[in-house]
Every structure is written in C-alpha cells, then in structure tokens.
Amino acid sequence: MALAGVSDVYSKSNELLNAFLGINISESQVYRVTDYLGNAVAEDVMAEIKHQKLNSTERVYASMDGSMIQMDQGWQEVKLGRIFREDCKLENGTKEQGNIRYKLDESFYSGHLGSYNHFIPKFEASLGTYKDCEDRLVFITDGAQWIHNYLTNRFPNATHILDYYHAVEHLTDFANSHFTDIARREKWVKAQKGELLEGSAQNVLDNIVKLRKLSKNVRTQRTKLLEYYKNNVDRMD
C-alpha cells in the first residue's frame, strides 16, 4: 500500500490497488499507512551506511542537486544526492558515436524536501564510511552556492568538478540570446564545448569577453555568465 502511495497521488493509488488486488481502499487510509511508514523509516535514513572496502585506487563519485516543486504551501526545493563507486559500472551497449555506454549496478541515494540544513545529514549518512576516504572522493555538482560552500568546507581535500552539462547549459542560453545567425551560433558553441572538455575554461572566458556588439540585455547575460564561470573555474580545469 505504501509503495502505491508514493508512486502517484493517493487517488491513483486506489486505482492501482483495485486493479492488482481487487480491493477498494480510501485515499485517507492510503495516506495514513504511507505517512506512518515514512515516519517509521526516518531513523534508518539517518543511520550511517557501512560501505564495502574500496579497491586500492578506486574512487567514489557523488553528486547533489535541487529542483523546485509546487506544494500547498508554495514553491519548495527538493534535494537529491547520489553516491556510487568507480568499479560498479557495467557496459550497456554503445552510443551513436560508437563509444561504450555504461550503467551503474549500485547507487546510494538521499533526498529531502526543504532546507539543505536537513538534507546534509541525510547525504552524509548515505556517504557513510566513504567519508574516511576524502582523497578518493569526487564531487560533481552545479554552481549552487550552498553546495559549493558545504563541499569545499567539509571535504577540502576531495576533487571538486563542475558538471559539464550545467556549464554548457548556461553557455548555450547566452549564445541563443546573442547570435541571430544559427550556423554561426552552433559553430561558436561547439568550439567552446570543445574547450571545456579539454579543460581550457580560461579560453572560454576569453572568447566570451571578445564578443562585440552585444545588446544591453545580452551584456547583462554575459556578466552573469562570466561571474558563474569565474566562480567555478577552479572546478573546470
């Protein structure tokens, strides 16, 4: 019942239970059971995970992000963390370019709806004994200030990387506003993406500064983009 309760809104849960079990259950009953079990596992969520021992050179990757959702009380941010070992990847076919596609056969998640102050203890519980291997930790995140502050202060000796796709997203939004010529825009963006993949973030910064004949609105966008990149340049090389 709880699984059905967390799969969709409670009215839809009733439909699932009726379809698979042939029983009719009220929305309020689904809510009560789901809420009770959710509260019951709260203590388990805060228990530190004792992970298996890492191989001699194996690294641990971790990421976290937030997304805004509409609640009865207004907009709130739900935060999610994911942790996985380097050696838990499996081949899973090929990409269009012929490169191998991988999937993970093991991940550890943590989540919280609300303040990051309440999310962080849950994230650290899922990180568990990996916290003792700080030099093996690799954090891949966006440029959110609360994430950056927490990780750099808590794990200064870990490797910190700005997520490539977030960096490209900001770059593309700016290029879409500036370049009216589609072919020129695509060529410019492709060149900058190549620089980012090569770890040449400073070249991208220089190329953004070199652009001329920007409208007032685009100049404002450029200022924000440059600030975003400068704040994260140490995580882009």
**CA-CA distance, 158 to 148, in Å (whole number)?**
12
Instruction: Quick: pLDDT tens for 162-196.
Output: 999 999 999 999 999 999 999 999 999 999 999 99
Q: Are residues 201 and 140 in the same domain?
A: no
208 and 127, same structural domain?
A: no
Residues 147 and 77 placed together within one structural domain of the fold: yes
| CA 138/CA 231 separation, integer angstroms | 19
Number of helical H runs and strand E runs in the chain:
10, 7
With 0-12 / 13-18 / 19 or more C-beta atoms within 10 angstroms meaning exposed / middle / buried, residue 156 is exposed
What is the pTM for the complete model shown?
Answer: 0.81
pLDDT tens-place string over residues 43-101: 888 899 999 899 889 999 999 999 999 888 889 999 999 999 999 888 888 887 778 88
Q: Measured between alpha carbons, how far is 176 from 168 in angstroms, rounded to an integer?
A: 12
Domain of 216, in residue numbers: 164-235
Count of structural domains within the chain: 3
Q: Is there a single domain that holds both residue 68 and residue 137?
A: yes
Cα angle value 198/203/204 (rounded, 5°) = 90
Last residue of a domain, one of 109, 131, 158: 158
Q: Please check whether residues 72 and 19 belong to one and the same domain.
A: no
Nearest to 231 by CA among 207, 212, 205: 205
Mean pLDDT for 200-223 is 94
Residue 197 sits in the same domain as residue 127:
no
Q: Do 186 and 134 share a structural domain? A: no
Q: How far is CA 229 from its chain centroid?
A: 18
Last residue of a domain, one of 158, 187, 203: 158
Answer whether residue 70 is part of any domain.
yes
Q: Which of 90, 141, 81 is nearest to 112 (CA)?
A: 81
